[in-house]
Structures are given as C-alpha cells and as structure tokens.
Amino acid sequence: MTLGDASINAVQAKDLPLGGVRVLELGHYVAAPFATRVLADLGAEVIKIEPPRIGDPVRQWGEQQNGRSVWWSVHGRNKKCVTLNIKHPEARPIIEGLIRACDVVIENFRAGHLDRMGYGDDYFRAIKPEIVICHVSGYGQDGPHRNRSSFGVIGEAIGGLRYLTNNPEGTNDLPPVRVGVSIGDSISGLYAAIGILAALLERRPCGRSIDVALTESVLSLLEGALPEYGMFGNIRKPMGGRIPTASPSNAFRTADGGWFIIAANSDQLFERLCGLMGRPELSGDLRFATNQSRCSNSAALEEIITNWSSSLSLTALEQLLLEKDIPGCRVFNVADIAADSQYLFRRMVQEVDDPLLGPVLHPGSVPHFVGSDRRVRWTGPEVGAHNSEIYGQMLGIEETALEGLIDEGVI
C-alpha cells in the first residue's frame, strides 16, 4: 500500500454554502456517509476515515466495473478518503490532529461503541470544545434498546414504514415490500445533515451533540398515523398505490402495459377528468361528488378509470392529461429518468468522468443553489487516496513517519 496521492483536479467549493467547513466522517455503510455526501455536495471538506486496505464495505456493493463499485462513484464523491485503524494505539494522536482541524465529527457505529474505544464526546470536547458531534444509530444513544444491532431495514420496520408499503390486506400473502432503496438510512442521513447545519448555525462555544436514530427518522414521516391512532384507535393500513386522504390518486394500467399516475384529487380536477373520460355525469354522482366520498368509494372509481386508461397507450394518456392540465405522469424507471428533458436541463442527471471507471451517470446535488452548476468536484476515490494530503500536508507528518505507520498497520 502506498501513502496515497489523489491526483484529482478538484473544483473549488468557494461558491458553495459550506465552503470552509471541515467534517470528519467515522462512518460506514450508508447512513452517516449519505449525510456527509450531502454536506460535501454543499461544499464542505469531508475527510472520510476507512479501514486500511479494504475501505468502506459499500465499495463492494452493487454492480461492478473493473472490479469497482459504480455506486461508490456517487456515494464517495466530493470526499477526501484516508485510511486509519482507529483501534490501534498509534491512531490516537492522528485522531486528535484531525479533530483539531475539523468543525464536525459524524459516526454511525452502534450506540456507545466509540465511547468504549475511548473516543467519547468528552474525549472529543477535551481536544476541541466547540466541535459538533453527530451520532447516527439504530435506536438512539440511550433507552432500553440502545445496544441492539440495526440496519436501515430495521429502522423501516420499527418506524412503521415497512408495514405500510404493501398492497391492501387480503389481496396477497406476500411479505411487506421494500421501497427499493435504503430509505431508512438515507432519511436518517438527511436528519443528521440538518442537525449538523443547525448546530453550525448556532455556533455554541461548547459545541453540540446530535443523536439521530434510524427508527425515529422513519417514524417522523408517518404523517397523521400516530395522532389518528391516539385519538381514534385507528391503525393505518397498507393501501397499495392509493392515498387514503385523496382520490383519485393511484397508478392505472395503459393499453401497452404501462403504469400511469393520475392525481385528479380536487373537485375541479376530478370534474375535468370526468369530461376527458367522456363521463361528465360522474362528477355529480353522490359517490364521487366530494373528495371524502371519492375516498370512501375508491375501488369503484378506480375500476371506472382503469376501464378508460387501459384503452389508451401510455403516450396518448400522457398527452391527454397534459393538455387538460391534470396532474399525471408515467411511472419512471431509471432509463426514463436518464432520458428526461427536465432532469437533463437542470443537470440533475449528468455524466461525470470517473478516472477509475470512465463516464458515470450521477444525480445532481440537492438542494440546488441558484448560480451554482451542480458540478461533481470529484468522484468516489480509491482507498487512502488522500493520505498524503491530509496526513502529510494538513497534519504535517513526515513521509518517513507515514511509511512507518503503514508498516505497523496504523494507516
């Protein structure tokens, strides 16, 4: 293993909001690294610590090109990657140097894991009192379940989302479906980023400790499910593609086998849809005259709409609703996304040259700041790519000393 030399022509982040903020990531897998990707996209200098040689396990996830994960190109983008065995005694002075140089430290080990290693909040604050510390864990840093193992899927299940992501009860005997991405991890990562931004804005001289739980992050998204249970004892049920509070709003089959979302759930939009279907009398039908009555009779209404939509192609249906200004769209797959003119115009889909992989499609940064062009400053780098820059240039460790640390398995 070499010291690492990131030969990356990095675009400066001075025109981005977080330019000048430095974040130390002690993260792995998805949650904390997702938070730091957001912060890095906004201009923060993120220093990601990984185990020597092997790096973050996500480097091996998903489809591979030349033995390298294509997802890593996005997941690790705009970050400076260094290697460090934080369990090694000689890692401690390096950690201390990094803490002094950073404004934020974020981790997503099991609750209390870093503390047991001697890297608790008190340790960090003794080095730099104003440091912002963000913990992301399955159940939070305290409570009776704090020591339980967890991943994003556990957060989704205990947060109540997995129960709801299914077709209505009695329609099949399949397990509740996953939404298709690591949504529990990503949501907790977003909350971590929000908490960090709030703490940086506050600028307390004694810093802040932030505690983000995957379970709580998911639970916070359940709209009125909890108050409705508390008030009425109602347990919200899986609804498939329907929205329980608005109708019609669902995906409908087309003649060519596609799925098309129709969201004509105000009275005016529904009346317009009825005219488009050649069924103007439906808007006066007592079963469908108001949103509340339509929600109570969704099955009957959706059967009528399906009989109409299934006689039209996806493109024809799309054009008809567009002309009548009724909210509707085809259900996009990733190929649709990559070809979409709106995404391409706003550079939310962009081709980035990854020196390790070649051209790779990346999503743009969110939120978009007017005046910035959503450029990816660099793609996910090799393991230890920035060892020389961070340890040598920033911390001032001489090259011979770094070589010794490599030989001893510290970096």
Cβ atoms within 10 A of the Cβ of 305, count?
Answer: 20
Q: What is the pLDDT of residue 173?
A: 87
Spans of all domains in the chain = 22-221+350-407, 249-330
Q: What is the pLDDT of residue 12?
A: 58
Q: What is the pLDDT of residue 53?
A: 93
Cβ atoms within 10 A of the Cβ of 326, count?
Answer: 17
CATH fold of 22-221+350-407: Rossmann fold (3.40.50)
Task: Taking residues 298-322, report their average pLDDT.
Answer: 97
Residue 257 DSSP one-character state = S
What share of the chain in percent tops pLDDT 70? Answer: 97
- Residue 26: strand, helix, or coil: strand
Q: Do 24 and 99 contact (CB within 8 A), yes or no?
A: yes
Residues with active-site annotation? 185
Backbone angles phi, psi at 215, to 5 degrees: -60, -45
CA gap 94, 90 in Å, rounded: 8
Cβ atoms within 10 A of the Cβ of 245, count?
Answer: 12
CA atoms within 13 A on the CB side of 225: 18
CATH superfamily membership of 249-330 = formyl-coa transferase, domain 3 (3.30.1540.10)
Task: Taking residues 330-343, report their average pLDDT.
Answer: 97
Query: 189-221, pLDDT tens digit by residue?
Result: 999 999 999 999 998 888 999 999 999 999 999
Confidence of residue 9 (pLDDT cuts 50, 70, 90): very low
Q: Do 167 and 244 contact (CB within 8 A), yes or no?
A: no
